[in-house]
Amino acid sequence: MGSIDWQQTTALVTGGAGFLGKHVVTGLERRGCKRVVVPRSRECDLRRPEAVRCLLSDVKPDIVLHLAAVVGGIGANQSSPGSFFYDNMSMGLHLIEESRRAGISKFVGIGTICSYPKFTAVPFREDDLWNGYPEETNAPYGLAKKMLLVQLQGYRQQYGFNGIFLMPVNLYGPGDNFDLETSHVIPAMIRKFLKAKSNGDEQVTMWGDGSPTREFLYVQDAAEGILLGAERYEGSDPVNLGSGEEVSVRDLAEQIRSLTGYTGEIVWDPSRPNGQPRRCTDVTRAADLFGFRSTTSLEDGLMKTLDWSHSTVVEAERKLA
């Protein structure tokens, strides 16, 4: 099992200013990391190999944690599948290649639960990753990420490049994206319920029929899992990062409605897509290989997210009014 002396390490964190990235950067700083560098997209376009080459030459990192991604909910994936594929594929492709050329000692690639086949047996085991095609609404994103796993495995075999690949489930927590056009399910529900409560609306409409299941991981737990993997894992096999707990979208909506204090009706719109029927991962590999287990229950995580989001969402709605 490997180890990292963070006090003597320069870490490059792509996407480090994002939702997950901020928590990873905080975790690195708490570990005493000598130097944490967060490139910004307006200054360095990771889709351009020459830009990546210059970045690595300037920073000279010991480790690269590649968290940068173009992400969104079902609606965003449906409207821009080509962009989701190209942006995510090209960023990872060039960053891995240029990191290899630069002699980076370790590369941490972050994948997605969306890479699993649409009808994967529950719980999702990493060995099932290639047993079918992903759910159609987010397949381009999921496949682009999965190709980075192939690249890392191929580079390890041919060049001895030390790259690992971690696959978080749906994340949530303080600092999440609450834009209804691009957000994922938990922030979208929170915003809808808070807005309906503020406006006195009698009902809230949710996409689909509520039957799909999902697994959620509190963002601070996810950041800790990534850093434990960076410190302790040296293998080529992909590893799930999750809570191992499955909840239906319908039950999730009821739980968030209760926590927000909204008393109106939930109306389901079955003309809207459900997405993947079920999602829940086997989390034993992460526990066995680098000691990661989530510590935040869904209820506690939702409470923390609501404490943070209430004033943020209400203020955003006020400005839009």
Residue by residue, DSSP assigns 56-78 as HHHH--SEEEE-------HHHHH
Which residues are within 8 A (CB) of 70 and not within 5 positions of it... i.e. 6 or more apart? 83, 84, 87, 88, 141
What's the CA gap between 161 and 45, in Å, rounded?
23
> 3-class DSSP state for residue 19?
helix
> What is the pLDDT confidence band of residue 315, given thresholds at 50, 70 and 90?
low
Extended strands (E) in 135-280 = 163-168, 170-172, 203-207, 213-214, 216-218, 239-241, 247-248, 265-269
pLDDT digits (tens, 9 = 90+) for 246-301: 999 999 999 999 999 999 999 999 998 888 888 999 999 999 999 999 999 999 99
- Residue 320 — pLDDT band, cuts 50, 70, 90? very low
Q: Give the per-residue pLDDT at 309.
A: 80
Q: What is the dihedral of CA 216, 165, 278, 268, to 10 degrees?
A: 50
pLDDT at 276: 82
Residue 184 has pLDDT above 90, yes or no: no
pLDDT more than 70, % of the chain? 92
pLDDT at 114 over 80: yes
Cα-based angle 304, 205, 84 (whole degrees, multiple of 5)? 70
Query: What pLDDT is stored for residue 78 in this prediction?
Result: 74
Residue 317, pLDDT > 90, answer no
Strands 63-66 and 10-14: parallel
* Domain 185-210+248-276+306-320: CATH class, spelled out: alpha beta
Is residue 180's pLDDT more than 70?
A: no
Is the pLDDT at 319 greater than 60? The verdict is: no
Angle between helices 81-102 and 139-159 (to 10 degrees): 20
pLDDT > 60? residue 238? yes
Both tokens assigned to 317:
């709605």
Q: Which of 7-16, 84-93, 169-178, 246-255 has the lowest mean pLDDT?
A: 169-178
* pLDDT exceeds 80 at position 181: no
Tell me the mean pLDDT in the region 295-320: 78
**What ranges do the domains of the chain cover?**
6-174+215-246+279-296, 185-210+248-276+306-320
Mean pLDDT of all residues in 188-206? 93
Whether the CB-CB separation of 16 and 25 falls below 8 Å is answered with yes
Whether 141 is a known active-site residue: answer: yes
The helix (run of H) or strand (run of E) holding residue 5 is none
113 in Cβ contact with 281 (< 8 Å)? yes
Q: With left for phi above 0 and alpha for psi between -120 and 50, is residue 248 left, alpha or beta?
A: beta
Q: What is the pLDDT of residue 44?
A: 94
- 6-174+215-246+279-296: which CATH number, 3.90.1150.10, 3.20.20.140, 3.40.50.10420, 3.40.50.720? 3.40.50.720
Half-sphere exposure at residue 158, Cβ-oriented, CA atoms within 13 angstroms: 9
pLDDT above 60: residue 172: yes
**Catalytic pick among 116, 141, 155, 172:** 141
